[in-house]
């Protein structure tokens, strides 16, 4: 449209530790697509790991690089539609002026996984902010591809709270993977943005007890507000023994790992009861080594992975809009786009931040 600027500010990835604020042409939406004016974009822990050059993203001697250079990062976002054609409007049920969110993955809709409904495991696995085909939201404008999964979002909340739908949807998927029962003791490791969402999601399942683990008292206080019944500071107590003491010596029924710290993995294996369930969500910087005999011969554990937020976005948006979460405290920092480096540093400084967002 004629009232759009020709160029926009955007963060561009040139390699590990080489992110730059540049001016790029405002993208053009093609048939079946939409142009979004970005209102807020969260900085994910995976963004930070990518920035620092983790092999998960940039490859090593055992795997090829997954992320690409010359890409605008940012996959946790919301914004308003400024251009959309009839085809896209009908497909997504949204119109110009609507606030929307888009799921972080842009499925191909042709591979084996997409054909079975497991679109979150799409074989090409193009995600906003990591691939040239799908530029991310650390920019003023963003094109929503025709293949994207777009959801109408609340208009009466701060946009950085709406953008929290991305990590919350991931947390809810991890909770679904856990198969929580009413009489379960559930342990959630880590009370960052993802862990707090896991606690809130677990609380909605009404288990017997939710135990939150973290090293920071302020994060544990937030965990209580999200639904934790018991909080344990891992620097002050023997977590494994305390959990066993609370469960008549058996151990927890469910352990959901959301820290990304290698020590949290054996911790979970050791505090689970026999036939317990371990759900791993985190992205790790380096490989983690554990005693696999705990999983097999000792306890016959169910060990499950969790990735993205398959079919959980509507629930995440509903939970944010419900007012049941301390969103003002979870969404701790909002910064202008030009302060992206400060934002990355704040995410690294987890003692002084929770969810950090950029507001283009």
CB atoms within 10 A of CB 17: 9
What are the tens digits of pLDDT across the range 92-118? 999 999 999 999 999 999 999 999 999
Residues 6+ apart with CB under 8 A from 1: 82, 83
- How far is it, in rounded angstroms, from Cα 27 to Cα 13? 17
What are the tens digits of pLDDT across the range 155-203? 999 999 999 999 999 999 999 999 999 999 999 999 999 999 999 999 9
* The domain defined by 171-305 carries CATH number 3.90.1150.10: no
Confidence of residue 284 (pLDDT cuts 50, 70, 90): confident
% of the chain with per-residue pLDDT over 70: 99
- How far is it, in rounded angstroms, from Cα 259 to Cα 230? 18
Question: Are 147 and 109 in contact, with CB atoms under 8 Å apart?
Answer: yes
Same fold flag, 7-164+331-359 and 171-305: no
20, β-bridge pairs: 12
Question: Are 273 and 209 in contact, with CB atoms under 8 Å apart?
Answer: no
Mean pLDDT for the chain? Answer: 96
pTM, full prediction: 0.95
Which string of b and e fits 21-49 if b means at least 16 CB within 10 Å? eeebebbebeebbbbbbbbbbbbbbbbbb
Residues 6+ apart with CB under 8 A from 210: 186, 187, 188, 199, 202, 203, 227, 228, 229, 230
- Domain 7-164+331-359, architecture per CATH: Alpha-Beta Complex (3.90)
Distances (CA, A) of 62 to 56, 65, 67, 262: 10, 10, 15, 19
Confidence of residue 286 (pLDDT cuts 50, 70, 90): confident
CB atoms within 10 A of CB 284: 18
Confidence of residue 287 (pLDDT cuts 50, 70, 90): confident
H-only helix segments in 214-331: 217-226, 239-246, 264-271, 313-322, 327-330
356, β-bridge pairs: 333
Residues, the chain, total? 360
**pLDDT computed for residue 62 by the predictor:** 87
**pLDDT computed for residue 262 by the predictor:** 94
Task: Indicate if the pLDDT at residue 149 is higher than 80.
Answer: yes
What are the tens digits of pLDDT across the range 233-280? 999 999 999 999 999 999 999 999 999 899 999 999 999 999 999 999
Task: Indicate if the pLDDT at residue 2 is higher than 60.
Answer: no
Domain parsing of the chain, residue ranges: 7-164+331-359, 171-305
Task: Indicate if the pLDDT at residue 292 is higher than 70.
Answer: yes
């Amino acid at each position: 449209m004629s009232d759009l600027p020709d160029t926009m500010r955007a963060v561009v990835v040139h390699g590990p530790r080489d992110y730059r604020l540049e001016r790029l042409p405002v993208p053009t939406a093609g048939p079946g697509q939409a142009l979004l004016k970005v209102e807020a974009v969260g900085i994910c822990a995976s963004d930070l790991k990518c920035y620092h050059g983790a092999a998960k993203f940039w490859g090593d001697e055992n795997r090829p690089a997954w992320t690409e250079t010359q890409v605008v990062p940012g996959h946790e976002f919301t914004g308003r539609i400024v251009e959309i054609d009839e085809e896209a409007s009908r497909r997504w049920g949204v119109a110009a002026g609507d606030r929307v969110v888009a799921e972080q993955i842009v499925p191909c809709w042709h591979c084996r996984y997409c054909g079975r409904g497991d679109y979150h495991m799409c074989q090409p696995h193009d995600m906003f902010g990591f691939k040239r085909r799908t530029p991310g939201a650390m920019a003023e404008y963003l094109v929503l591809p025709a293949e994207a999964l777009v959801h109408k979002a609340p208009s009466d909340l701060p946009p950085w709270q709406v953008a929290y739908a991305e990590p919350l949807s991931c947390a809810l998927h991890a909770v679904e993977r856990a198969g929580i029962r009413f009489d379960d003791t559930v342990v959630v490791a880590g009370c960052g943005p993802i862990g707090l969402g896991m606690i809130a999601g677990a609380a909605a399942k009404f288990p017997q007890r939710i135990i939150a683990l973290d090293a920071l008292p302020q994060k544990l206080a937030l965990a209580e507000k999200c639904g934790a019944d018991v909080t344990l500071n891992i620097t002050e107590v023997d977590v494994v023994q305390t959990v066993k003491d609370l469960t008549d010596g058996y151990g927890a029924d469910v352990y959901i790992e959301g820290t990304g710290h290698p020590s949290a993995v054996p911790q979970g294996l050791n505090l689970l009861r026999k036939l317990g369930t371990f759900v791993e969500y985190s992205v790790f910087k380096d490989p983690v080594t554990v005693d696999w005999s705990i999983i097999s011969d000792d306890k016959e554990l169910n060990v499950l992975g969790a990735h993205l937020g398959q079919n959980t976005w509507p629930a995440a948006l509903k939970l944010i809009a419900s007012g049941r979460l301390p969103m003002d405290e979870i969404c701790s920092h909002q910064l202008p786009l030009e302060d992206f480096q400060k934002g990355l540093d704040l995410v690294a400084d987890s003692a002084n931040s929770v969810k950090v967002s950029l507001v283009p």
